[in-house]
Structure 1
Amino acid sequence: MTRFSANLGFLWTDRPLPDAIRAAKTAGFDAVECHWPYDTPASEVKLALAQTGLSMLGLNTVRGDVAAGEMGLSALPGRRDDALSAIVQAVSYADAIGAQAVHVMAGKCDGVEAEATFIENLSAACEIARRSGLTILIEPLNAFDAPGYFLGNTQQASTLIRQIDASNLKLMFDCYHVGRTEVDVAATLQKMLPIIGHIQFAAVPDRGAPDHGDVDFRRIFSLITELGWEHPLGAEYRPAGDTESSLGWMAKLR
């Protein structure tokens, strides 16, 4: 049976993070994940995880100056200190709550210098995370939602992962972003499977619940099971209304 993780960056956003974790448990999710939990004391998140028995699969490094349009720091030339500070913050928080992975956000930039910067910072992130047994994830974002983001497709991510060659550096495979950019989600998933560390999903193209749209998630979830993937899949979609009213897909697609 397919297991699901509630991405609390999009689900139950009207509640404090500990209450969102409890809501995810009540709704039948098998795990949780989040975006930027740093305004919530780690002790409160850890308590909610302990009370529910859910694991926190991952969280993101901070975006930087959101008002200025920043979406990550680790590929930005000249921002190494800021990038490393964000990585240390994320790894420390993840370690404190028993999370499994940290998604290192690259930022909006391009070019040879940006690539060299990202490689340097990812290498450092892998070393820092290794001490806590954490996985570092990188995620390509589609150009419709994140124009100018450094990491734009799975092939680019694959090349970086193989070049850095760290055992704890993996691909965050988001079916939504892949569906918007690379079209054939199933074929790309099979190709990238050896380097995938986490899988997320949402309807294509509207990023809603996965029971509609251009991607047949019944087929995708069956394929993932056939490929031997046993970890919870991240529900990172935007509910059309309140979260509870959007959950009908779970019974249909599980």
Structure 2
Amino acid sequence: MKFSANLGFLWNDRPLPAAIRAAKAAGFDAVECHWPYDIPPSDVKSALEETGLKMLGLNTLRGNVPAGDNGLSAIPGREDEARAAIDQAIAYARAIDTPNIHVMAGFANGDDARQVFVANLTYACEQAQPHGITILIEPLNKYDAPGYFLTTTAQALDVMDMVGAANLRLMFDCYHVQLMEGDLTHRIAALLPRIGHIQFASVPDRGAPDHGEINYAHIFRTIADLGYAAPLGAEYKPQGHTEHTLQWLANLR
């Protein structure tokens, strides 16, 4: 198995270029991040070139976080902000050769929100396609993100079908899907043709994958047996220093 360090959580006490170097030293095969926009892309690119790691993905901006935003693309009336965030993400992804962008939906509900989300995703896919960039959408669980528009894989597939773009795929986060739907092995097998990236963390505490209710040794074997060979994203919250939580990396690889 190959693994990607999500630097939104791992080594997030360091500047992003330093976190990239730490992930390389720890033995990760790739990296991913949340919102890198405060760091010049040239600094990130230099760290990626130095380590030989690929930045697999990044997120669109959440919006006004102090006011409670967690994404913009499903919020009626904020289409201009949402598309500016999409444009920003594409420009940054191009600068550091990142193949995936997670377009965050935000807190919204109802048919109007779905139509806005579909329209913004259509825009994102059209803008990303000439650059070989895939757009990802991710269902978030209702406990950590109450009121978030996208909460289940079925809802995500419905949105994807409405958009109908070949470069729109599902971000399957085992942590969120287990909390909302369960049945991970069957669900991964059924959805694999629509999946663009897989992430993981323990349930229920969102820690390292060596404890909790999910048997990740079994999950990772299932994924490998299905022929999925891309790096899996370690998006968990370390309890203490990241280096002290990495025994799983050798044990589960």
Q: Which runs of 5+ in 1 are unaligned?
A: none
How much does 1:203 deviate?
0.2
Determine helix, strand or coil for the equivalent of 1:158.
helix
- Alignment of 1:86 with 2:85, yes or no, is yes
Alignment partners' CA distance in 1, 2:82 and 2:144:
22
Question: For residue 232 of structure 1, what is the aligned residue in structure 2?
Answer: 231
Alignment partners' CA distance in 2, 1:136 and 1:220:
25
How much does 1:190 deviate?
1.2
How much does 1:183 deviate?
1.6
CA RMSD of aligned residues (A): 0.5
Structure 1 residues 101-120: aligned runs within 5 Å:
101-120=100-119
For 1:157, the aligned partner's letter is A
How much does 1:60 deviate?
0.1
Alignment partners' CA distance in 2, 1:70 and 1:216:
33
Determine helix, strand or coil for the equivalent of 1:94.
helix
Alignment partners' CA distance in 1, 2:201 and 2:179:
11
Question: For residue 94 of structure 2, what is the aligned residue in structure 1?
Answer: 95
Alignment partners' CA distance in 1, 2:224 and 2:146:
33
Output the TM-score relative to the length of structure 2.
0.99
* Deviation readout 1:33-78 (Å, 9 max, x if unpaired): 0000000000000000000000000000000010011100000000
Structure 1 residues 71-220: aligned runs within 5 Å:
71-220=70-219
How much does 1:212 deviate?
0.6
What is the total number of aligned residue pairs between the two structures? 253
Determine helix, strand or coil for the equivalent of 1:131.
helix
Alignment partners' CA distance in 2, 1:185 and 1:41:
38
Moved more, 90-99 or 154-163: 154-163
- Alignment of 1:4 with 2:3, yes or no, is yes
Question: For residue 17 of structure 1, what is the aligned residue in structure 2?
Answer: 16
Alignment partners' CA distance in 1, 2:26 and 2:99:
22
For 1:116, the aligned partner's letter is Q
How much does 1:187 deviate?
1.5
Q: Which runs of 5+ in 2 are unaligned?
A: none
Alignment partners' CA distance in 1, 2:112 and 2:3:
38
Determine helix, strand or coil for the equivalent of 2:22.
helix
